[in-house]
Amino acid sequence: MTSRSMLIFAAISGFVYVAFGAFGAHVLSQSLGDAEMAWIHTGLTYQSIHTLVVMILGVAMQRQRNVWFYWSSAFLALGTVLFSGSLYCLALSHLRLFAFVTPIGGTLFLVGWILLLIGALRLKKKAERHE
Q: Which residue has the higher pLDDT, 88 or 1?
A: 88
The overall pTM is greater than 0.85: yes
- The number of CA neighbours under 13 Å toward the Cβ of 116 is 19
Residue 60 within any structural domain of the chain: yes
In a domain, 106, yes or no: yes
Distances (CA, A) of 106 to 62, 85, 131: 27, 12, 38
Evaluate whether residue 131 is within a structural domain. Answer: no
Q: 76 is in which domain, residue-wise?
A: 3-125
d(CA 7, CA 4): 5
Average pLDDT over the chain, rounded to an integer: 93
Kindly report, residue by residue over 19-67, the tens digit of the pLDDT: 999 999 999 999 999 999 999 999 999 999 999 999 999 999 998 888 9
Nearby residues of 93 by Cβ (< 8 Å), 6 or more positions away: none
For residues 59 and 80, the answer to whether their CB atoms sit within 8 Å is no
Number of domains in the chain: 1
